[in-house]
Every structure is written in C-alpha cells, then in structure tokens.
Amino acid sequence: MGCIGLINITSINIYRPVLTRTSNKPYTRRGPSMAAIRAESMATEKLGIFIEKNPPESKLTQLGVRNWPKWGCPPSKFPWTYEAKETCFLLQGKVRVYPDGSDEGVEIEAGDFVVFPKGMSCTWDVSVAVDKHYQFE
C-alpha cells in the first residue's frame, strides 16, 4: 500500500512550470504560464459599476482613450450624479464609490477601466489624488 503524506505548501514554487510525462514521450508543459495568467485583465461588475483591471493597451488604443479629455481632483469626498453613461480610465489615484442606497463601496484605482451607468447617484471618497481620461455617452 502507498502512503499519503502532507505537503509543505510554502515549499512549492507556483511560478515554475509543471511538467508531465506520458509513457516514453518527452515532457510537456501543462496549462498556461503564470506570466500569461498575470497579464490577463480581469473584469467585474459590482453595484452597477463595471470595472476592468489593467485592460490591454490594444483595447485602450482601439477606443482612443488617450485622446479623451482628462479630469483630476485631490483627496476629497463629494456627491455625484451621472447624467450620462461615463467610461473612464484611471491614470492615477484611488477612490471608493458609494452608490446611493448602499453602505457598500466599490474601490477603483490607477489602471482601472470603469463604466458608470447613466442615472447613477453616488458619493466619491477620493483617498489618493485622481487623474483620469473620461468620455460621456
């Protein structure tokens, strides 16, 4: 009978590729590399706000984001209502946005591509000065 042992997780290097061997064939790599996984952007929707973290530069170029107007503000707290849908890309800063009627906030920060829906009323709590490109539709 075989033994079942415990593995010390701290000794596993997650960045080293996992190689497998089937019969007498050469070793082959399993799954995508960690670099490829880290390079992917992640998109989520929370409380009506769409956030894509670290979108590919190709997407920003295709949308012309770097040619959109810029807006910025120092650390502050203020109410805001979106009269139109706003799409923005944060170059710098950190904000927690609290949609009206919710005690829960949504955190956005430098590198985030964000879409706020038309009609949303919220409070912006800016903890790190913001610099962003934006576009209203």
Ranked by mean pLDDT, which of 33-37, 41-45, 51-55 comes out on top? 51-55
* Residue 132 and residue 71 in contact, taking contact as beta carbons nearer than 8 Å: yes
> What is the band of 4 on the pLDDT scale with cuts at 50, 70, 90?
very low
Q: Mind giving me the DSSP string for the chain?
A: --------GGG--TTSPPEE--TTSPPEE-S--HHHHHHS-EEEEETTEEEEES--HHHHHHHTGGGS-EEEE-SEEEEEE-SS-EEEEEEEEEEEEEETT-S--EEEETTEEEEEPTT-EEEEEEEEEEEEEEEE-
Contacts of 114 (CB under 8 A, 6+ apart): 49, 50, 51, 52, 87, 88, 89, 90, 108
Q: By percentage, how much of the chain surpasses pLDDT 90?
A: 69
- Which residues face 110 on adjacent strands? none
Residue pLDDT, tens place only, 68-120 = 999 999 999 999 999 999 999 999 999 999 999 999 999 999 999 999 999 99
Q: Residue range 51-72: average pLDDT?
A: 97
User: Is the pLDDT confidence value at 10 over 80?
Assistant: no
